[in-house]
Amino acid sequence: MVTTPLLPQHDRKEKKFPVSPQQLCDLIDFKDASLLADLGGTRGICQSLQVDPTMGLMTDESFNPCYGVVQQHDTHGSFQERKHIFGRNEIPEAPKKTIFSLIWAAYNDQTLIMLSIASLVSLAVGTWEDNSINHPADEPKVGWVDGVAIIVAVAVVVITNAINDYEKEKQFRKLNAKKEDRPVKVLRGGIAQQVHIRQVVVGDVMFLEPGDMVTVDCVYIEGHNLRCDESTATGESKPVKKYTDQHGDCIIFSGSKVIQGVAKVVVIAVGVNSFYGRAMTLMRDAQDENTPLQLKLNILADQIAKFGFAAAGLMFGVLLLKLFVVSVIHHHWISTRELFSDLIGIIIQAITVIVVAVPEGLPMAVTLALAFATTEMLKDNNLVRHLSACETMGNATAVCSDKTGTLTENRMTIVSAGIAEIQFTQLADIGQWRYKVHPLALDLAVEAMAVNSTAFEGKGPDGNLKFVGSTTECAMIEFTQKLGFSYQHIRSSSNVVSVHPFSSEAKSMTTIIQIRENNARSPGRHGEYRQYTKGAAETILRHCTHFMDNRGRVRPFSNYARSHHEVLINQYAERSLRTLALAYRDIDQSTYRSFNPDDAPLENLILLGVVGIQDRLRPGVVESVQAFRRAGVFIRMITGDNIETAKAIAKESGIMTAGGVAMTGPEFRALSEEEQFRIIPRLQVLARSSPIDKTIVVARLKQLNEVVAMTGDGTNDGPALKLANVGFAMGITGTEVAKEASDIILMDDNFNSILQALKWGRAVNDGVRKFLTFQLTVNIAAVVVSFVSAVVSETSESILSAVQLLWVNMIMDTFAALALATEPLTEDLVNRKPLCKDSSLINWRMSRMIFGQAIFQIAVNLLLMFHGPVLFGLSTSTADKRVLRTMVFNVFVFMQVFNELNCRRIDDKLNIMRGIMRDYLFLAIQAFVIVGQVLIVQYGGLAFKTVPLSITQWICTVAIGSLSIPAGILIRLLPPRLSFLWSKNSDDEFKHTVSYARMRWECALEHAIKQVKNNQAFQRLLAATEPSNMEVMSQVRRARTTATTITIAEGQTGKV
């Protein structure tokens, strides 16, 4: 049999489509009925895409039906023209950054570039000096060491940063490796078949079922009661019903989820052309901003560079002046060659000062602190995507958190129930409660939960058994098991004849079964069928005309009985419980046949009872909220749940406090910008919110100069996550768009992990500040000692040699960065307020310690340099001069060793040893430095210009070096304000516009004013009453006075 293709052969070679991808994208973006009409509606789109809705696409783009048999074609080679024009259903991964590009990006740092220039100059001058004729023959040629050492330090920083970024990106790609890899059902060649999601092309006719995640843009063709959750795409929390193009909304966004119903749709956009794909692309194109710490470090680098060049310039000028003054005094005019040689020596000394002044350990400290923190944060279920977000989180002033799954477990549990007028309020009472409920009522309630549900028990991704389905239905199934029933046995014994899925309009779900002998008995059974209905308690209660009492009897609703159940429902709502009512009725065959198959029957129901379902708080949330409050961080709950439930959860967790404001998203959006600024400092709960509300809240808070952390999981949360200073995406429930837009991914969706991120952020900032305190003390002391000793020396030579300065300035700084920037977490991190974004990197406490220790070390070293021979009993011989230089070097080094203990704390507390036994890395590094110093002094004479010291000399130098600890104690005890030196400045701490204390006072004052007004109103009411009533009140007061007098008199008589 010869079949004639539907399309001509030349069209099969090069297809022409009357519609362009841009037109289809505009249809999705604007959702405009006129655009759809211009394309000819759904039928016109199918014709333009050359697809028959009843047959679907043919693999070879021809109409060649194989009745009942699917021909085997090369699916990878099919639809190439469609894929070329409309794109593939793939979202290309972001381009991988090579290790070389990461190295170049890490090197583009102001401090590192400045260090590189200094190293090249030092290397050139040092090499020239080593090979000059004036170089002493008895000294090693080590002038090149300074420059090479700085280059090595820069290389270590750059490579460490690059490797850290590379590993971070690899971790994120590994996280995204398990993307949706599932089949979908399409119609091709008239046969429904499953294909991989990536093989779907524009023009495919696809089937949608409840629970499907739609990853392509579609147009509705036909179906039954299709409702989609488009909240991740549009921000609307209410499910949207889809219709044919003549009757309503027929556009289905990618990123949507099918809530109920079934449908046949035609695909109009895939991959990067779909709504979901374009959102992902936009997120990848966003550029990162410099963080507050990076900005402050750049400013500090500029200041230190200016200080170093100023000191070097001053030293060059002083030594040059000294050269000419000495020549004039001795009447010896130096030759050109001598002048050139002396100038080179002076330049070398100046370059040495610059090298000493520049804090080459600073970028190393920042890198090590961030690398250590991000590694430890991963253990706390925080995957840091952007390294800078770690330190930014340390100064967060506001956290905007979701409720479901973040603050709560996202696991519904029935915690209270009232069946047939018998209630329990605690899960511990469930065993006794089940025997108090009438058996008929209990059997009917359990059967209603088991049959009128789609949840089931299956294996999860980890292979363990878990409940699958809506969280509410899973809670009911679990409840039946706790009562000792088997929902599988009940379902297998029941014959379900009709199901009306949950409807957001009716707020209920109904299932009709044909009654069998194995089904639960009902009092006064009449009929062959039974209807079970569950739903929102207040809605179901309105449809009930009877209820079952505690004796298992069906009684009509009286006003009292209805009020009693309404009070119970309100009590559950006030406890943040989701209330569901269970109802039933027996019906005969004629009544069953009269039902409308599209509308669930909701009349003449019999109420079985009400259950309260709770999404319990995660363990530790209350403690975490309290910790955030101690840390000066304002917590706001932004949720799509209703306001009463949100307020109850907020109060339970401690987020909602006295004076706080709770409102809905539409109410907040309706406010003017000025009103939003006025209300947002007190806003603690924003319910029924959309992703747009999140963006507005973040924008307003940032305009108030706050550092904002935001959580999100939906596709449309991307802009808010990107706008926030730190965006947290959910690792379990979050969409790929949310993860791409985020800075940190919560691998366990847990609010407690955000607190850990705050702690590590503050630990990073503290580590950098500790290292700065230590580093700048070393640099100031080394520069001044080198400068003064070079000026007063006859040979213009510093008492600390270049290699000694290398040990002090490079090795110790590098190890100090590793020791001080990698300390473990402590609870003290959350016992202080966050810092302002524009706060100084070096606060008054740090500056007091830096200058106090530097002055002390300079004084001690200069004292030893000038009076050392007298103090240590040394002569002026060359050998004793070398011993003195070695002792000064040893004292200087051990002053830094003991001062590093001082720098473990940057507050005014005196216990510098707190937690040191748990800080193993710090102890190991200190031991390494001490051992290294001993080896240098005793055996490094040739390179370091040292001589071995005696035991007595070692004890003296170490004892003098240990004086850094008592000096640090005295510095901490100095008054916070000292004229012309320093003054305590608390402006660095961030101050909220409205504090928790102020809200409490305002609430108390408002309550007092209200009480006064109520008393005044009561007095006016009494004054406005009739005189007889006033007289009665006066008589009552007189009677009370008389009774009191008699009582007192009787009491006194009794005592007599």
What angle separates helix 361-379 from helix 751-792, to the nearest 10 degrees?
160
User: Environment class of residue 1022 by beta-carbon count within 10 Å: exposed (0-12), middle (13-18) or buried (19+)?
Assistant: exposed
User: Environment class of residue 963 by beta-carbon count within 10 Å: exposed (0-12), middle (13-18) or buried (19+)?
Assistant: middle
What angle separates helix 920-939 from helix 878-902, to the nearest 10 degrees?
180
What element of type H or E holds 192? strand 191-196
> Nearest Cα to 212, choosing from 256, 243, 270, 265?
256
C-alpha distances in Å from residue 130, one per residue of 6, 122, 127, 150, 351: 89, 12, 5, 18, 15
Assign 153 to helix, strand or coil: helix
What element of type H or E holds 170? helix 144-176
**477-515 burial, b for 16+ CB within 10 Å, e for fewer?**
bbbbeebebebeebeebbeeebebebbeebebbbbbbeb
- Measure the CA–CA gap between 365 and 776, rounded to whole angstroms: 13
Residue 881: both structure tokens together: 């001069």
Residue 655: both structure tokens together: 């987020």
Instruction: Name the amino acid, one letter, at 400.
Output: C
- Measure the CA–CA gap between 312 and 353, rounded to whole angstroms: 6
Catalytic residue among 165, 217, 402, 615: 402
- Measure the CA–CA gap between 964 and 852, rounded to whole angstroms: 10
Q: Hey, what long-range contacts does 922-927 have (CB within 8 A, 24 or more apart)?
A: 922/819, 922/820, 922/823, 925/815, 925/816, 925/818, 925/819, 926/819, 926/897, 926/900
Torsion sign (Cα): 935, 936, 940, 943:
positive
Please measure the distance between the N-terminal and C-terminal CA atoms of the chain and give it in whole angstroms: 129
Q: How many Cβ atoms from other residues are within 10 Å of residue 980's Cβ?
A: 5
- Measure the CA–CA gap between 66 and 45, rounded to whole angstroms: 25
Which residues, listed in sequence order, are joined to residue 383 by a DSSP beta bridge?
Answer: 745
Torsion sign (Cα): 824, 826, 829, 830:
positive
The bridge status of strand 257-269 relative to strand 205-208 is antiparallel
- Measure the CA–CA gap between 918 and 824, rounded to whole angstroms: 8
Torsion sign (Cα): 581, 586, 591, 597:
positive
Q: How many Cβ atoms from other residues are within 10 Å of residue 222's Cβ?
A: 12
Q: What angle do CA 923, 926, 931 make, to 5 degrees?
A: 125
Assign 159 to helix, strand or coil: helix
- Measure the CA–CA gap between 457 and 489, rounded to whole angstroms: 13
**Catalytic residue status for 138:** no
Which residues are tagged catalytic? Answer: 402
